[in-house]
Structure 1
């Protein structure tokens, strides 16, 4: 880590698990025990890369975020899986769980087929365009009340 004021400026606001060095500031995230992926901290990190980092941290007994099941996703007892990512951070259309069990996912990484053998045909990644957001209001400040 760089010592001094420049080290304080070199951090990744969008990814708390990034390691940054500089100047010039360069940040990476660990995708596997042997692979660090350079990231652009001015952008959000692709979800596939986030899941890879999460799985690596979980395998090391480190903290991870808590996740829920997407409402439209398949009910699955596997929990979060260690995805295969393209070099740009997109999910590969076909995912497998280190066994003979494979399935197709959409661009959000959500399983869209039943699990089958390794010969399952996932020609291309199906793009997901609809995102459901749930917004909740917090309590109003006391100076606004009454």
Structure 2
């Protein structure tokens, strides 16, 4: 079985990731997938490039703990998170969250839970390059609220 978490600079292949996640598991009845991409605008400003940084080792450990929590909360069979770091351009893929389950409801919920958790709790730092210069992106109140609906208070709140 492939690793549950990959932090990488290179792009990922959605089809290959999903195929590997569900390989040889005849109990999989549902696969829910979220793919995040770089937008060309944020907070009203044009974005020409984004840079993502992380703390190697700490980031993988934090995401592994998120997957463990999803496994406890939901009836899922497997999960995979791929997150890119380094320089990224508009339309580039940033993140993949894929979850398998016997039934769609649990897969959808676990996928959304993992994405909400990633947005607020994973140790990533994001810098956007705009016409006015580079700026670090702060956590959003909406992301903290999304996590709160799962009964978890954001550590950065």
Q: Which has the higher contact order (CA 8 A, sep 6+)?
A: 2
Greater share of residues in helix? 2
* TM-score over 0.5 for the pair: no
TM-score by length of 1: 0.26
TM-score by length of 2: 0.25
